Copies of this chain bind each other. A is one copy, B any other.
Amino acid sequence: MSTSRSQEKLGESLNLVTTLLEKQRIIEALTHKQESKNKELIESLVHRQNLALLHKKIRDLHPADLTHIIEVLPPADRLVVWAELEPHHGAQVLLEASSSVRESLVAATERPRLVALLAQLDPDDLAYVSESIEPEVVAEVYRSLDAREQSVFRSTIAYPDDSVGHLMSPECVSVRDAWDLGAALEDLRRRAELPPHTETLFVVDARNVLRGALSLKDLLLRPPSAPVSAVMSTDVLSFTPRERASDAARAFERYDLIAAPVVDERGKLLGRLTVDVVMDFLRREAQSEALRRAGLSGEEDYFAPPWTSARNRWLWLSINLLTAFVASRVIGLFEGTIQEIVALATLMPIVASIGGNTGNQTVALLIRGLALDRITRANTRHLVQKELVVSLMNGAVWGTVVGLCAVALYGSVPLGLVMAAAILLNLVVAAMVGCAVPLVLHRLGRDPAQGASVLLTFTTDSMGFFIFLGLARAFLV
């Protein structure tokens, strides 16, 4: 029994693999430099021994750990390990890797090996990875499937990425409502193996319509003569393939589900959704959200070539430059005023910066609220009013503080007053725009995390400069 310390074990495996790869690199460097036949032979033996050790180490790892190791290795090392994997391991790694890493592996794999790997996958998993793979390769693997597998494949790719249908697995155990527990038990015993996470069996009628759920616990503890329909629970939460995966994930969290049935519109059992798939989905969502807010596509490979990474960031950079230019043109309108009072140039970034930061707090609160369904039509007005009041309070307090600093620095009371008023007004603008942007994006069916910050910062910068320099021109010049 391996008691605990999964982290440590994984760290050790990673170190060992890295060391083996390092040795290998030294050997390769040596063989490259020293051309003597004899030397080469010896090195090649050591090399082979080393690879054999790597091969053995890799064979014993859990696929999830293997995937992790492959993802943290730089590209050259990654491919050495990848080449050593046996087909069933390789297939699992393809399945578990992030899409950018998966694509780098697929690109480095000869077609016959790739076909052999993919043939190891369940048809629903094949459908899941098929986006990263050339259509002809997928077609070749598809032709090797039997009719039932082909139909599972087809129905899985038919559903969009973020739907229950895309994540569900057809692999589930059902029993008939007309049976007694003894017959159900008999049926289970005929199966060699139950799929993981089978805490509950689904109960269907003769037409395969879902009627309820029977826990293994009840099957164990109740008398074999009891009818399934009397023991089963009928209050089962089920999903349809068209439902959004994020709604299903929220239900899993809320009701602590392990596995839930997926049914078609007539209630017929199609498959099931399990908590491990839901957790993976939630993790991918959370990660990609954090990156998308910084203007990165969800899945950048840490070891993609710099040129690819540079271009990945261009869309965001160009939007950012465009908004910065517009804000800069706002300043341009007041160049005459700045020439007269150069302190304005020094102080104006403070007004813009404090607006952007408080506005981003409001944006973060609203995005979280929308993601958790905490923001409803009924309480939106209450929330917006509250953010407005908070911004007025903060504007009054911090506007005064900054205004006094400006007076101390430049000895001009009117300048301090303009500064204080500009901060108060810009905080109000920030609160209003910080509420409006996520709410509007959400109502338009867009993702509020993507783009909210750019729009907000654009407004608080431009308005901050405009309010501050405009007040200065009106009252100071």
Q: Which residues of A contact B (CB under 8 A)?
A: 1-4, 6-7, 14, 18, 62, 64-65, 68, 71-74, 185, 188-189, 194, 196-199, 210-212, 216-217, 219-221, 234-240, 243, 247, 250-256, 258, 263, 267, 275-276, 279-280, 282-283, 286-287, 289-291, 293-296, 300, 302-303, 306-307, 309-310, 313-314, 316-318, 320-321, 323-325, 327-329, 331-332, 335, 338-339, 342-350, 352-354, 357-358, 360-361, 363-365, 367-369, 372-376, 378-379, 382-383, 386, 389-390, 393-394, 397-398, 401-402, 405, 457, 461, 465
User: CB < 8 Å: which of B2, B188, B211, B221 contacts A235?
Assistant: B2
Q: List 24 A-B contacts (CB under 8 A).
A: A1-B211, A64-B255, A72-B379, A185-B220, A188-B220, A189-B220, A196-B256, A216-B220, A219-B220, A258-B258, A279-B282, A282-B282, A282-B286, A290-B290, A295-B361, A302-B379, A310-B394, A314-B397, A321-B350, A321-B398, A328-B350, A335-B346, A338-B345, A353-B461
- Please indicate the chain B residues that have their CB under 8 angstroms from the CB of A349 in the complex: 324, 327-328, 331, 349, 352, 461, 465
Known contacts A4-B240, A4-B243, A65-B254; is A306 also within 8 Å of B386 by CB? yes
Q: Which residue of B lies closest to A277 (CB)?
A: B256
Check A217/B198 contact, CB under 8 A, given A72-B374, A276-B256.
yes
Q: Which residue in chain B gives the minimum CB-CB distance to A263?
A: B3
Question: Which residue of chain B has its CB nearest to the CB of A173?
Answer: B217
Q: How many of these chains are in the complex?
A: 2
Q: Inside 8 A of A323's CB, which chain B residues have their CB?
A: 353
> Which listed residue (B276, B286, B346, B465) contacts A332, Cβ 8 A?
B346
Given A216-B220, A316-B357, 13 new contacts (CB under 8 A): A189-B220, A199-B199, A199-B216, A199-B258, A219-B220, A253-B280, A256-B279, A279-B282, A291-B364, A313-B358, A321-B354, A324-B350, A335-B346
Which of B4, B189, B339, B372 interacts with A263 by CB under 8 Å? B4
> Cα distance A374–B74 when bound, in Å?
11
Q: Per a CB cutoff under 8 Å, which of B14, B255, B256, B402 touches A376?
A: B14
In the complex, the answer to whether A296 meets B364 with C-beta atoms within 8 Å is: yes
Q: Which residues of B contact A267 (CB under 8 A)?
A: 3
The reply to whether A342 and B346 contact each other, CB–CB distance below 8 Å, is no
List residues of chain B with CB within 8 A of the CB of A352.
349
Determine how close the nearest CB of chain B comes to the CB of A333; give it in whole angstroms. 9
Please determine whether A235 and B361 come into contact, CB atoms closer than 8 angstroms.
no
For A294, list chain B residues within 8 Å (CB).
360-361, 363-365
Closest chain B residue to A304, Cβ basis: B386
Across-interface contacts of A185 in B (CB, < 8 A): 220
Q: Which 7 residue pairs spanning A and B have beta carbons closest together?
A: A294-B364, A256-B276, A345-B345, A306-B389, A64-B254, A324-B353, A310-B393
How distant is the Cα of A436 from the Cα of B344 in the complex, in angstroms?
A: 33
Contacts of A329 in B (CB 8 A): 346
Instruction: Establish whether residues B361 and A296, one from each chain, have CB atoms under 8 Å apart when the complex forms.
Output: yes
CB nearest to A350 among chain B residues: B324
Minimum Cβ distance to chain B for residue A357 (Å): 5
Query: What is the distance, in angstroms, from A183's C-beta to the closest C-beta of chain B?
Result: 14
Closest to A196 in B: B256
- CB-CB under 8 A from A255, the residues of chain B are 6, 62, 64
Query: Quick one: which of B313, B345, B360 contacts A335, CB cutoff 8 A?
Result: B345
Q: Smallest Cβ distance from A161 to chain B, in angstroms?
A: 19
* C-alpha gap A236/B244 in the complex (Å): 35
Smallest Cβ-Cβ distance to A293: which chain B residue: B364
Q: Which residue of B lies closest to A240 (CB)?
A: B4
B402-A321 in contact (CB<8A): yes
Enumerate chain B residues within 8 angstroms of A2, measured Cβ to Cβ.
235-237
The distance from the CB of A338 to the nearest CB of chain B, in whole angstroms, is 5
Inter-subunit contact A365/B296 (CB<8 Å):
yes
Quick check: A252 and B279 within 8 Å, CB to CB?
yes
Contacts of A287 in B (CB 8 A): 368, 372
- Whether B364 lies near A320 (C-beta < 8 A) is no
Q: How far is the CA of A256 from the CA of B321 in the complex (A)?
A: 44
List chain B residues, Cβ under 8 A from A216: 199, 216-217, 220
Q: Once the chains bind, are A335 and B343 in contact (CB under 8 Å)?
A: yes
How far, in whole Å, are A199 and B217 apart by their CA atoms in the complex? 9
Residue in B closest to A67 when the chains form the complex, CB atoms:
B254
Instruction: State the Cβ distance, A328 to closest chain B Cβ, in Å.
Output: 5
The docked-state distance in angstroms from the alpha carbon of A282 to that of B284 is 12
Q: How far is the CA of A374 from the CA of B263 in the complex (A)?
A: 38
Give the residue of B199, B234, B328, B345 whose beta carbon is less than 8 angstroms from that of A197: B199
